[in-house]
A and B are shown apart, each in its own frame.
Chain A
C-alpha cells in the first residue's frame, strides 16, 4: 500500500506534465490560432497565420512544460498565457 502511494506520488507529477504537454499545449495552440483573428488582417490571412504559427506555439508549450521545475509551474505557465489570449479569442467569436 505504502509503495503504491509512493508510486502515485512520484508518477503523478509526471503524468500531469504529460497531460499538460499533450492536451494543454494543443489547447494553447488552438486558442492562439483563434486569438490571431483579432489582428488587423483579412480573415483568410489571419486564419492561415494562426494555423502556420500554431505548431511553433505547441512546441514551445511542450518544451516549457518539461523545462520548468515543477508540474505546478508547468500548468501555471500555460494558464497565464491562456488567460492573456482569452479576451482576444472572445472578441472575435
Chain B
C-alpha cells in the first residue's frame, strides 16, 4: 500500500494522499483515487459477478439444459412431499434438512441436509438439486450454475470462506468511502452531468465515470451499504458478543434474522414425520399458491421433530423471517411468525434490497442495468487512473513499474474477466458429462482462463492486450449460442418455438454483450491508431498520447 502511495507521489505530487494544507476537495479527491484503486480490481469483479447474479436462477437453468423448463409452477405442496420422502432416505438420521421449493424462476428443488457425524467434531453436510416431478435427484450435468458467480461475488474462491467474506467486506467498505469522497470531490456533480465531452481523452473518461456514478448514485450507495449489512454479524460481532452470554440468549437474535429453526435436542425416539404437504397447504392458504419459499425440518424421523414452512421471497421487500412452525410428528401448527423488531425489519429490508429477489421481471432488468452501470463506473475509474497519469509520465514509452502493474491488472480484471466468465459457460457446455468433480472443473476452467488473460496482459503491449482481449471476449460470447445449439437439444430456434424465454434471453444477451465488447475493441483500436500517429508527429504531445489509452 505504502509502495503504491510512493509511486503515486513520484509521478505527480499534486495528486497524492498528502493532505497537509490542502482543501477538503483535494484531500477527498486523493482519498477517492487511492481507495478506489487499491481494491478496485476486487470491486470490479464483485460488481460484475454480482450483476449477473440478478439472473442467478435463470443462469442455473441454462447451465442445466437437461432439466426441462416448467411451463407452469407445480403444486408446491405435492413437490415438498415428494422431496421430503426422498430426503427421508438420503438424509436418514440427520439433524436437519431444508429445501427451496420451485417457483417462477426455479425449475428444480435445491436441498441441503446434515448427516450424522461419523467422528465427533465432524459435521456431515450434503446438498443436491431435485426434480420437482419425481422428487429424485436431477439427472442433469453436475454444475454449481449461477450460484458460482453469486458466491464468488462475496466470498471469492480458493480461500477459506471467512477470509473471502472479510476481503469482500473490506472492498465494500473501500467502495463506500470512495462513493462518499467522490461526492464531496465533485461539488458540481449534477452540473457536470450535463456537459459531456466525447472523444476528449481524459476529460471523456472522467465524464463517463461521473455520469455513470451520478446516474446510479442512489443505487451504488444502496447496494454497497446493504452489501455490508448482509454480512454485518461477521464484520461487527462486538455488540452481539457483549450483549449475549449464553447460546439461549443468542438464540433471541438468531430468531430475528432467519427462518431456519434451531434443532434443539433430539428425543432419541423414532417417529415418522407427519405429511409435509398438509403443512405446505396451510402455508399456501396464508401466502398464496406459489409463494411458499422453503421447508425446513429439524430432527426428522425423531419424536422431537419440527417443521418450518417459510414464505417465499416474491411480493415483499424484506428478508426477515416469516414462517409457520409445525410439530413434526403430528403436523399440528405450533406458531406463526410474521413480524420482527424494528431494527431487524430494517436489516431485512436492506437485505432484500440488495438481493432484489422480490423483483418482477422488469424490476430485475432495471437492477441488472443499473448494477451494470456500477460495474462500468468501477471499470472507467480504474482505467482513468492510468489515463490521468500517462500524460504526466516522464517518458510515456517506458512507464515505471507501478504504472505498468496497474495498467496490466486493469486489462486482466476488466477484459480478462469477461473472457473468464464466458469460458465458465463454455466449460459448462464442453466438459463431458459423467466426470468426477465436474462442477469444480468448470470453476477451475474459469480461473485458468482468467490466469491466462493476466499472462497475456503481462506479455503483450498494453494497448494490443486491451484490443485482443476485448475481441476474444466478443468472439466467445458471440459463439456461445452456436455452441449451445451444437451441444444441447435446446438451440435458439427451438427455444423460440417453445416460448422458452430463459434460453432465448440467454442467447440474445450473449450477442448483445458480444456486440458491446466488439464496439469497445473497435474504439480502443481506433484510439490506438490515432495516438500512434500523434506520437510520431510530436513525441512531446502528452495529451494526444494520453487520450489513446484504453477502452472507451
Q: Of B31, B177, B344, which is within 8 A of A45 by CB?
A: B344
Task: Assess whether B181 is in contact with A44, with CB atoms less than 8 Å apart.
Answer: no
CB contacts under 8 Å to A, within B86-102, are none
B176 at the interface (CB under 8 A from A): yes
A22 to chain B, nearest CB (A): 9
Task: Assess whether A44 is in contact with B229, with CB atoms less than 8 Å apart.
Answer: no
Contacts of A30 in B (CB 8 A): 236, 238
The 5 closest A-B pairs by CB, nearest first: A48-B343, A50-B239, A51-B232, A45-B343, A45-B341
- B interface residues with partner A (beta carbon < 8 Å): 1-2, 5-6, 17-21, 24, 27-28, 30-31, 173, 176-177, 180-181, 184, 225, 228-229, 232-233, 235-236, 238-240, 242-244, 249, 252-253, 255-256, 341-344, 346-347, 350
21 contacts between A and B (CB under 8 A): A18-B17, A29-B236, A34-B238, A34-B239, A37-B242, A41-B343, A47-B239, A47-B240, A47-B244, A47-B253, A48-B256, A48-B346, A51-B233, A54-B235, A55-B229, A62-B31, A63-B181, A66-B17, A66-B19, A66-B181, A92-B242
Cβ-closest chain A residue relative to B19 = A66
Contacts of B184 in A (CB 8 A): 63
Tell me whether A66 and B27 are in contact in the complex, defined as CB-CB below 8 angstroms, given that A29-B236, A45-B344, A47-B239 are known contacts: yes
Tell me whether A44 and B256 are in contact in the complex, defined as CB-CB below 8 angstroms, given that A13-B20, A59-B180 are known contacts: yes
B352 to chain A, nearest CB (A): 14
Task: Assess whether A55 is in contact with B232, with CB atoms less than 8 Å apart.
Answer: yes
Q: Of B18, B236, B341, which is within 8 A of A51 by CB?
A: B236
Task: Assess whether A18 is in contact with B238, with CB atoms less than 8 Å apart.
Answer: no
Contacts of A37 in B (CB 8 A): 239, 242-243
CB contacts under 8 Å to B, within A6-38, are 10-11, 13-15, 17-18, 29-31, 33-34, 36-37
A73 to chain B, nearest CB (A): 11
A46 at the interface (CB under 8 A from B): yes
A93 at the interface (CB under 8 A from B): yes
Q: Of A42, A43, A59, A67, which is within 8 A of B244 by CB?
A: A43
Contacts of A50 in B (CB 8 A): 236, 238-239
A66 to chain B, nearest CB (A): 5
Could you tell me the distance between the alpha carbons of A58 and B5 in the complex, rounded to whole angstroms?
22
Q: Tell me whether chain B's interface is mostly helix, strand or loop, or mixed.
A: helix
A13 to chain B, nearest CB (A): 7
Q: A63-B28, A67-B28 are in contact. List 19 more A-B contacts (CB 8 A).
A: A14-B5, A14-B17, A14-B18, A31-B238, A47-B243, A50-B239, A52-B229, A55-B176, A59-B173, A59-B177, A59-B180, A62-B31, A63-B177, A63-B184, A66-B27, A66-B31, A67-B19, A69-B21, A92-B243
Give the interface residue-count category, chain A: 35 or more
Q: Of A15, A49, A62, A63, which is within 8 A of B343 by CB?
A: A49
Could you tell me the distance between the alpha carbons of A78 and B480 in the complex, rounded to whole angstroms?
54
Contacts of B255 in A (CB 8 A): 44
Task: Assess whether B181 is in contact with A18, with CB atoms less than 8 Å apart.
Answer: no
Tell me whether A43 and B232 are in contact in the complex, defined as CB-CB below 8 angstroms, given that A11-B6, A33-B238 are known contacts: no
Tell me whether A54 and B21 are in contact in the complex, defined as CB-CB below 8 angstroms, given that A14-B5, A48-B347 are known contacts: no
Task: Assess whether B249 is in contact with A43, with CB atoms less than 8 Å apart.
Answer: yes
Task: Assess whether A43 is in contact with B252, with CB atoms less than 8 Å apart.
Answer: yes
Cβ-closest chain A residue relative to B31 = A66
Could you tell me the distance between the alpha carbons of A22 and B212 in the complex, rounded to whole angstroms?
28
Cβ-closest chain A residue relative to B16 = A14
B15 to chain A, nearest CB (A): 14
Task: Assess whether A46 is in contact with B243, with CB atoms less than 8 Å apart.
Answer: yes
Could you tell me the distance between the alpha carbons of A39 and B342 in the complex, rounded to whole angstroms?
14
Cβ-closest chain B residue relative to A54 = B236
Contacts of B1 in A (CB 8 A): 18
Contacts of A63 in B (CB 8 A): 28, 31, 177, 180-181, 184
B242 to chain A, nearest CB (A): 5
Q: Of A49, A52, A59, A92, which is within 8 A of B176 by CB?
A: A59
A10 to chain B, nearest CB (A): 7
B184 to chain A, nearest CB (A): 7
Could you tell me the distance between the alpha carbons of A17 and B347 in the complex, rounded to whole angstroms?
32
Contacts of B232 in A (CB 8 A): 51-52, 54-55
Could you tell me the distance between the alpha carbons of A36 and B20 in the complex, rounded to whole angstroms?
34
Could you tell me the distance between the alpha carbons of A33 and B241 in the complex, rounded to whole angstroms?
11
Could you tell me the distance between the alpha carbons of A63 and B185 in the complex, rounded to whole angstroms?
12
Task: Assess whether A55 is in contact with B173, with CB atoms less than 8 Å apart.
Answer: yes
A61 to chain B, nearest CB (A): 10
Cβ-closest chain A residue relative to B32 = A66
Could you tell me the distance between the alpha carbons of A34 and B240 in the complex, rounded to whole angstroms?
8
Task: Assess whether A11 is in contact with B2, with CB atoms less than 8 Å apart.
Answer: yes
Contacts of A13 in B (CB 8 A): 18, 20
Q: Of B2, B19, B176, B253, which is within 8 A of A44 by CB?
A: B253
Contacts of A17 in B (CB 8 A): 17, 19
Contacts of A66 in B (CB 8 A): 17, 19, 27-28, 30-31, 181
Q: Of A18, A51, A69, which is within 8 A of B239 by CB?
A: A51
Contacts of A89 in B (CB 8 A): 242
Could you tell me the distance between the alpha carbons of A42 and B299 in the complex, rounded to whole angstroms?
31
Could you tell me the distance between the alpha carbons of A29 and B6 in the complex, rounded to whole angstroms?
29
Task: Assess whether B256 is in contact with A43, with CB atoms less than 8 Å apart.
Answer: no
Contacts of B249 in A (CB 8 A): 43
Could you tell me the distance between the alpha carbons of A17 and B2 in the complex, rounded to whole angstroms?
12
Contacts of B236 in A (CB 8 A): 29-30, 33, 50-51, 54-55
Cβ-closest chain B residue relative to A36 = B239
